[in-house]
Amino acid sequence: MDSLRAKKGYICDMDGVIYRGDHLLPGVKEFVQWLYRENKKFLFLTNSSRRSPKELRQKLAAMGLDVGEEHFYTSALATAKFISRQSPGCSAYVIGEPALFQALTETGVTVYKAEDTAVEANPDYVIVGETDDYNYRNICQAIDYVFNGAKLIGTNTDLTAPLEHGIGPACRALLAPIEATTGRYAYYIGKPNPLMMRTGLKILGVHSEEAAMIGDRMDTDIIAGIESGLDSILVLSGVTSREIMKQYPYRPRLVLEGVGDIPEE
Ligand SMILES: [Mg+2]
């Protein structure tokens, strides 16, 4: 625990670590106060491409937690950064929410949305993120572009997402019909892809050994930390129990009930 408290930087997953549904988890306010008091560098990192940093800030503010926009990093931002570096000035057909369109546009990508009927040429990429605006015509259009050579990108590999009443399809499930029909497989950007972790460390300005990754999922957060050289901390406040944890061939460095355990008494 002392070595965890001595880290310079913290990359924290959000859902199941900071909040659950519309409620902050116990001890989160104290943890964030501790981060500020100790002058720690920190980033709230989410695989969801639904919300912009501004919207995430508002979401937390509504729960009574004030965290600046600069502390949020999303798979939409990571995707935009990756695409714009791979092919500056490229174009993309995008199935997603406004936060994803915005992130891509800001890095100079020409974005075509489902409602754009006049796509002049075949776009360089088809990019899919979570969205409620998903239908048969969009899928057919995306398939057409992939058959014509567009590269297929997913913002994250999450298969399921918690809904208010049950479980819904997340990014990878939305890509499944496009992958199955075309026989092409998407490149996925979010955790556990080390791309996103490395960028997170760069934003914080700390080396991987000086940072910890805190999350509630073994197959994204914990493995991402391990593979990127950060200490991985599992919190039991989300989807993983000690029993589930034991089913994986790798272990977190530390297991905590929640982030509220981190500040010194
Ligand atoms: Mg989580």
- Residue-level pLDDT at 252: 98
Distance 238 CA to ligand 1 centre (A): 6
For residue 95, the surrounding DSSP H or E stretch is: strand 91-95
- Residue-level pLDDT at 118: 61
- Residue-level pLDDT at 160: 87
- Residue-level pLDDT at 21: 83
- In this structure, what token pair is assigned to residue 156? 């994250």
DSSP for 132-164, please give it: S---HHHHHHHHHHHHTTPEEEES----EEEET
Same domain as 247, residue 182: no
Same domain as 235, residue 136: no
Centre a 10 Å sphere on the Cβ of residue 202 and count the other Cβ atoms it contains: 9
Rounded Cα distance, 26 and 258, in Å: 8
CB 186 within 8 A of CB 154: yes
Distance 204 CA to ligand 1 centre (A): 20
pLDDT in tens, 171-188: 999 999 999 999 999 999
Distance 95 CA to ligand 1 centre (A): 23
Same domain as 232, residue 134: no
Distance 47 CA to ligand 1 centre (A): 9
Catalytic residues: 13, 15
Last residue of a domain, one of 169, 188, 207: 188
Same domain as 158, residue 217: no
- Residue-level pLDDT at 144: 94
Distance 240 CA to ligand 1 centre (A): 9
- Residue-level pLDDT at 22: 86
Rounded Cα distance, 150 and 144, in Å: 9
Last residue of a domain, one of 188, 221, 237: 188
Residue 28 CB partners (closer than 8 Å, separation 6+):
18, 19, 65, 258, 259, 260
- Residue-level pLDDT at 166: 82
Same domain as 175, residue 200: no
109 domain residue, yes or no: yes
Instruction: Collect the ranges in the chain with pLDDT lower than 50.
Output: none
Distance 82 CA to ligand 1 centre (A): 23
